[in-house]
Structure 1
Amino acid sequence: MAVPIKKTLDRIPGGMMIVPLLVGAIIHTVSPTAGTFFGSFTGALFSGSLSILAVFYVCVGATIEVRNTPYILKKGGVLLGSKIAASVIIGVVLGRFLGEAPVGSGMFAGLSTLAVVAAINDTNGGLYMALMGQFGNSRDAAAYSLMSIESGPFLTMVTLGVAGLSAFPWQTLLGALLPLLVGALLGNLDRDMREFLSRATPVMIPFFSFALGAGISLSSVWNAGLLGLGLGVAVMIVSGTILFIADKVTGGNGVAGLAAASTAGNAAAVPAIVATANPAYKASAAPATVLVAASVVVTAILVPIVTAWRARRVAGPAAEAEITEEKAEARS
């Protein structure tokens, strides 16, 4: 008897990331020592998120094409730069009030600069390209080949440093970027390597997600509640507004900008990596992981709705212009 596990996960926004993460969190809540009890490969899976992520970013890097058309460089560069600028500005503002530690109590308990920056910095590439395939064009979809530089903890570390918070040594910053660079080098030197490595990217998502969840208590998931929902809405509104303007400036209609106003599933892995690189963020890592995961789900639901609304608004005048042109040709 076949059980449609993958189809079920695909129906859930960010399902391949969220469900394994929650499974890991459930196991950790019920039996915190399960990984060490079994040891060997099972124990390695419970604690090996960083190793899996290193391979994951090599595969993601292989999808980055150096030879892009001027349009793709312009569109992708402006959207990428706008999102980075937004996270830097927000990081500077929050950094002055919160520092590295999360909010300790009250309705914003668990919120941190790390959580907000990580949620904004990384776009859901699959969602963006799917929306561009439906409402945009192939050139706008291809712009993600440049935007994928967002992937990984590098830009988050840089943003936190620019915000005046605890900085990271250059070796750590380079180490966070190297897997992506190695993948990009392999993918651009050999097209077959790009195809080979890119196929492995989605396979690793549930595995590092489970390992991340194995370090989270469900009590923190419960506490995220409305705060996680609010973070997702804020990410869409703030980054969506900035990206919408950036898209219009580059001659677009705003659809591509809104489609990029989401949080990538792998962004939930960033807080743990940042905390490993700098212990100053250790207290923020667990609640930030939950909040970023919530933002993944919320933006995966809201961004397609807003993008479709904008696409219909744009299509209306365009369709009317096309009808008018056809009538003029008929009269002549």
Structure 2
Amino acid sequence: MKIKATLDRIPGSMMLFPLLLGATLNTLFPGTPTYFGSFTGALWTGALPILAVFFFCMGTTLSFKATPYIMKKGGALLFTKVGVAAIVGIIAAQFIGTGTVLGGLSVLAIVAAMNDTNGGMYMALMGQFGKPEDAGAYSIMSLESGPFLTMITLGVAGLAGFPWQAMVGAILPLVLGMIAGNLDKDLREFFGKAAPVLIPFFAFGLGCGLDFKKVASSGLTGILLGVAVVVITGAALFLADRLTGGNGIAGLSAATTAGNAAGVPAAVAAANPAYAEVAGSATIMVAASVIVTAILCPIIVAWYANRLQRQGKLILNERQAS
């Protein structure tokens, strides 16, 4: 059976299919990791450890000479993503205020959905269609993670402090990989080959954190929020990517909502009771956006990458081929 050859004909298949499989199993059989435990349970819930290994392996392929590019690209995408979320949030606040409209849509839901990029999705798409330097840009973009910038965007005061340990922890595997790869080219070749192999495994783990029922419960509004994240932030990120010397793939790959963004509304409400009433509906909306963007983004990126390939503007090497 030529399973892989068949999958290779479908853009983004090594990310998309395992993710959809994980989401389907989690929706139908959510108790599986507890029931089986052991290695099965670990695979079901272990996207972060696999991502850590992926970051290290990807880091070994990066040269220290690329550090200025990584800072420039990551900074551009970070400020564009957060800036767009802030602008849309400010505009929405004029019409929504601190309440909800259209069955649960709130400013909190909009900002939380647009503010945080799905790092696993970004890294997977970079591993398949992008450059190692663009993958490394996520070490800067990871500053989006969690409620910190969402609170800043919403004007929430009284935050305990900047979680610098978590930020250092987010980039440490990548940095250690860069050190190893730059010290020894044999290590670079050894670990670099492992990066694409890890993609379907952490994609499955990410999918197992999603629930299709939440999309249904959010109705059309939640789906439209996810589409808006892809279209609005995608357009701005595409432009930012092109202006910093990229081909647009990295920008489009960042037009998603991170899975952990679903926990942001509750964290914001805990810091500011003004958002307590909308936190529940915002969580559902953001969760819907996570799933919608996880499906739409790789399809759009793969289509655009194939278009560039046909035009001779993109050459996928063996590491990037899925």
TM-score w.r.t. length of structure 2: 0.69
1:67-216 equivalences in 2 (<5 Å):
67-68=65-66, 73=68, 78-94=72-88, 106=103, 112-119=110-117, 122=122, 124-126=125-127, 128-129=129-130, 144-145=132-133, 148-151=136-139, 154-157=142-145, 160=150, 163=153, 168-216=162-210
Change (3 A) 1:10 1:262: farther
Where 1:13 maps in the other structure, the secondary structure is coil
For the aligned residues, what is the CA RMSD?
4.0
Contact 2:118 2:259 in 1 (8 A): no
One-letter amino acid of the structure 1 residue matched with residue 185 of structure 2: R
- Residues 77 and 44 of structure 1: CA distance in aligned 2, closer, same or farther (over 3 Å): closer
Contact 2:230 2:297 in 1 (8 A): yes
Structure-2 separation of matches of 1:307 and 1:218: 33
Question: For residues 9 and 308 of structure 1, do their structure 2 counterparts lie closer, same or farther at Cα, with a shift above 3 Å needed?
Answer: closer
Paired residue for 2:253?
263
Identity rate, percent: 30
Q: Larger Rg: 1 or 2?
A: 1
Counterparts of 1:147 and 1:204, CA distance in 2: 14
> Structure 2: which amino acid aligns with 1:24?
G
Quick one: which amino acid aligns to residue 33 of structure 2?
Answer: G
Letter in 1 for 2:65: R
- What amino acid maps onto 2:6 in structure 1? T
Report if aligned partners of 1:258, 1:306 keep a CA contact under 8 Å in 2.
no
Measured at CA, do residues 106 and 11 of structure 1 come closer, stay the same or move farther in structure 2, by a change above 3 Å? farther
Mapped pair 1:236 → 2:255: no
Partner of 2:300: 299
Change (3 A) 1:293 1:5: same
**How many residue pairs are counted as aligned between the two chains?**
280
**Deviation (angstroms), 1:147:** 5.6
Aligned match of 1:252: none
Structure 1 window deviating more from structure 2 (154-163 vs 39-48): it is 154-163
Deviations, residues 75-127 of structure 1 (Å, cap 9, x unaligned): x65444332221231233356568xx9x7854968954343233498574246
User: Do the aligned residues in 2 keep the contact of 1:16 with 1:206 (CA within 8 Å)?
Assistant: yes
Taking the aligned partners of 1:22 and 1:32, their CA distance within structure 2 comes to: 14
Query: Aligned to 1:261, what secondary structure does the other structure show?
Result: helix
Give the TM-score normalised by structure 1.
Answer: 0.67
Contact 1:153 1:176 in 2 (8 A): no
CA separation in 1, counterparts of 2:140 and 2:25? 26
Partner of residue 24, structure 1: 22
Decide whether aligned partners of structure 1 residues 38 and 154 sit closer, same or farther in structure 2, where only a CA change above 3 A counts.
same
